[in-house]
Amino acid sequence: MLASFGRKDTLKNFEKLYFEHYNMLCRRVYRFVKDEETAKDLVQEVFIKYWKRMHKMHITESEIGYLQKSCINAALNYLKEVARRQSRELDFAESAQKDATRPDESYHTEETSRLIDAAIEALPPVCREAFILSRHHLKSYKEVAEILDISVNTVEKHIGKALRSLREVFRPG
């Protein structure tokens, strides 16, 4: 295990482990997440956590075995989070759609639409563009990332910020 070496040897061994296995781990994670940037980010995060914790850990298997399992778990956790987020967004959209279909709510629907438009306009430019591409043009996060030349994780952060901003508009009180 790396932690059994001196600090200098540990760094050399860690670098060797990283450079020898990073690409293979990225390919393995990509099979799950189907996005190259996300795969790279997840593998990078696993290596960072490993580096921070390796002196406190007791690994009973090989380092690469540990890293492979960690990367697969990171990919699965990422996919679960994406599914949860999409479910929440779908629930929000269905709820808004139900409210908009009531005939006695036409005034409230117009007012709600105006408030949403104003909240979207108030977003920072890249955040607004990411939100519009995703929600109005029905582009995937990957497509939005390619159009805006940013990472998928950055798109996720912009969409999250936009949704938080919209929630603030409708927060009671």
For 67-124, write each residue's pLDDT tens digit: 999 999 999 998 888 888 877 777 777 666 665 555 555 556 677 777 888 888 888 9
CB-based contact 163:171 (threshold 8 Å): no
pLDDT of amino acid 135:
82
The secondary structure of the chain, three-state, reads CHHHCCHHHHHHHHHHHHHHHHHHHHHHHHHHHCCHHHHHHHHHHHHHHHHHHCCCCCCCCCHHHHHHHHHHHHHHHHHHHHHHHHHHHHHHHHHHHHHHCCHHHHHHHHHHHHHHHHHHHCCCHHHHHHHHHHHHCCCCHHHHHHHHCCCHHHHHHHHHHHHHHHHHHHCCC
pLDDT in tens, 4-50: 445 677 888 889 999 999 999 999 999 999 999 999 999 999 999 99
Phi/psi at 78 (5° precision): -60, -45
Tell me, yes or no, if the pTM score tops 0.75.
Answer: no
Q: For residue 153, what pLDDT is reported?
A: 92
Would you state the pLDDT for residue 61? 74
d(CA 169, CA 172): 9
40 touches 23 (CB < 8 A): no
> What is the reported pLDDT for 99?
55
pLDDT on residue 1 = 46
Q: Would you say residue 172 has pLDDT above 90?
A: no
